[in-house]
Structure 1
């Protein structure tokens, strides 16, 4: 069987896109200047100045009350961090990284002879846990369509404020 050149040229972009992982949306609206996450309300706000551009409900770590202190404690960090990385190949659809642990978090854990943990993200939700409440190991989980919007709207170095 032969593939004619025109069919190959037309099919190549689709093949490349299929290998690239989840597709992300484009965004050309106002810049997201900060993110506010209120754990007790389970609400995440993408802000431009003091105006909310988008609001999302979310799920937390399996031990949702209190600030993350140690690896494996199931808590979601509280405090001021930045978005410091993104993962288009995340096990949880897409994800943007939160800069936990900061220097204070590392010092506290070290003073107790423990690891602070890490790898905290805003990420999507695998089908296996959809609908379960507070199931992550400390991350902030939103739906897959929501994380696609967040991934497109939020740039690296955006501050994120996580409150109780």
Structure 2
């Protein structure tokens, strides 16, 4: 599942286009993930981690009018009794509050439902990341609950995250 040969060359949203990640995206991703407003949620990404985790069949650049403005990745749980997908997104702060993150999440959710056959997609923004939680809600994700001490931050502290889901029939 999820090989490059079954990855579309582009996934169109209303405004953005998602394109499979390539080595050429690495400098832009480092810039985005290094921005102070993003690094607090996506800390610890250096060159090697970006190459290892963001390039490959599950990674996409978010483009607006041909410019890379963010990234979105997905993971899949293959166990047939628990099969679902999860996604994460980072958008450069210069492009916040324009509906682009919501558009990217909806485009990816459509791909995961229609192209990958999932019935459920989850996101897990930090509980203190109110902007991300609002964007996920606008994309149709519903709050399920809080996962306590879910994710370790760059300073070693554990932080809560909000579990949100979107079911295929609600899409």
Q: Same fold (TM over 0.5)?
A: no
Query: If each structure's strand is expressed as a fraction of its own residues, which one has the higher value?
Result: 2
* Greater Cα radius of gyration, structure 1 or 2: 1
TM-score normalised by length of structure 1:
0.24
Query: If each structure's helix is expressed as a fraction of its own residues, which one has the higher value?
Result: 2
Flag the structure with more relative contact order, 1 or 2, with Cα contacts below 8 A and sequence separation at least 6: 1
